Structure 1
Amino acid sequence: MKTKNIISVLVIMLFTQVMFAQKVEVNTKASSIEWLGKKITGQHEGNIQIKSGYFDLADDKITAGNFLIDMTTITNSDIESKQYNKKLVGHLKSDDFFGVEKHPTAKFVVTQSTKFSDRKATITGDITIKEKTESISFEVVRSGKEYKAKIEIDRSKFDIKYGSTSFFDDLGDKAIYDIFTLDVKLVVN
């Protein structure tokens, strides 16, 4: 009888653990991040690759997660001239912007989430860029094995000052808006 009870308890514990915590790995090859930065006179866009990532899913809610973004992979997709494209990407990688030589990765850690309802959930977490961490929240839409989000980030909170009216006056048409957008598509295994 004792053996039966012990086995029952072990089965319940195993079932409960499986039911409440499922680690979901991100397929970094199938996933993407598209960035968009705007300025007074136009905009630029490109891509950044996800280095690694996972999240824990329990009771239809993301309970934890950790994502590394490879800032050395930043590209531009709207400038056709190879010379000017290379110049912009080099500037984005420089200390004026992301300083990728000193800060090759950015990080996002999930701190809380709502349950998915009608395929949507609100995620809150800490994003670290250039060793500065800020809390952000955004909506995630789930469709099968894809999770999509549009995330707005205020670069001035990460000490990215170049062309920012938050730090400099009289920039005129040289001003670059502080908010940049990331369109994130995570595909899970």
Structure 2
Amino acid sequence: MKKTILSLALTAVFGLVSFANPIDGEKKAVKTDESTVTWKAYKVAGSHTGTIALKSGALEFDGDTLTGGEFVVDMTTINTTDLQGDYKNKLDGHLSSDDFFSTASNPTATLVFTEVKPSGKNSYKVTGDLTIKGITAPVSFDVSIYGSKATATLKVDRTKYDVKYGSGIIGTAKDKLIYDEFDLVVDLQL
């Protein structure tokens, strides 16, 4: 009986100590100046590409296993890379306007991982909450991690974030149609 009471007491003490001091994962900050976010948007008559800067970001690990992440994107840095001169300036201004991302009133966008599942060696299926223009919607994508580098490709439906300019135009203006989905290719340095 004494051994049983002692065992229960020790179990309770060590259980409480473990509960009071949970093992926290390691949070690795992203080197924003060495990381890139490239976008590609499509329209009936072609496509445009560009970049946008990360303001901050981190990935969370338990040992070598990815468990979470969060990022802040500086929407004011929208930059078209496939055009030059007046065409580039016009498109950059239009993307920053209220027709698209309203960067004056929404200078940042965020992504917070809500679920991470291993899908292979160094690969993960991630679900997260993406917030653009103050509107949050879930996105799913794959992440690959090799040493101090991580890569991901996301397909984003812009209409979920009230970015509807040029969406679904019919008739003679159909050559101006902009597809609702755009791609983000993210290369992170940790």
Q: What is the TM-score normalised by the length of structure 2?
A: 0.85
Stretch moving more, 59-68 or 88-97: 59-68
Q: Is the 8 A contact 2:26 2:63 kept in 1?
A: no
Instruction: Give the whole-Å Cα distance in 2 for the aligned partners of 1:144 and 1:49.
Output: 22
SS at match of 2:89: helix
Q: Is the 8 A contact 1:164 1:178 kept in 2?
A: yes
Q: Is the 8 A contact 1:98 1:160 kept in 2?
A: yes
- Give unmatched runs, 5+ long, in structure 2: 1-9
Specify the alignment match of 1:58 in structure 2: 62
Q: CA deviation at 1:58?
A: 1.2
Specify the alignment match of 2:149 in structure 1: 146
Q: What is the CA deviation profile of residues 35-81 of structure 1, one whole-angstrom value per residue up to 9, with x for unaligned ones?
A: 0001000110000000001121115433232100000011011012x
In the alignment, which of 66, 83, 88 is matched to residue 85 of structure 1?
Answer: 88
Q: Is the 8 A contact 1:112 1:125 kept in 2?
A: yes
Q: What is the TM-score normalised by the length of structure 1?
A: 0.86
Matched, 1:103 2:86: no
Instruction: Give the whole-Å Cα distance in 2 for the aligned partners of 1:92 and 1:139.
Output: 27
Instruction: Give the whole-Å Cα distance in 2 for the aligned partners of 1:183 and 1:56.
Output: 20
**Count of residue correspondences:** 174
SS at match of 1:89: helix
In the alignment, which of 47, 71, 77 is matched to residue 73 of structure 1?
Answer: 77
Instruction: Give the whole-Å Cα distance in 1 for the aligned partners of 2:174 and 2:60.
Output: 46
Instruction: Give the whole-Å Cα distance in 2 for the aligned partners of 1:149 and 1:21.
Output: 21
Specify the alignment match of 1:184 in structure 2: 186
Instruction: Give the whole-Å Cα distance in 1 for the aligned partners of 2:66 and 2:103.
Output: 30
More strand by share: 2
Aligned-residue identity in percent: 39
Q: Is the 8 A contact 1:35 1:183 kept in 2?
A: yes
In the alignment, which of 7, 25, 46 is matched to residue 42 of structure 1?
Answer: 46
- Give unmatched runs, 5+ long, in structure 1: none
SS at match of 1:184: strand
Q: Over the residues paired in the alignment, what is the CA RMSD in angstroms?
A: 2.1
The residue type equivalent to 1:153 in the other structure is V
Instruction: Give the whole-Å Cα distance in 1 for the aligned partners of 2:189 and 2:161.
Output: 28
Larger Rg: 2
Instruction: Give the whole-Å Cα distance in 1 for the aligned partners of 2:72 and 2:22.
Output: 30
In the alignment, which of 102, 113, 117 is matched to residue 114 of structure 1?
Answer: 117
The residue type equivalent to 2:104 in the other structure is E
Q: CA deviation at 1:117?
A: 2.3
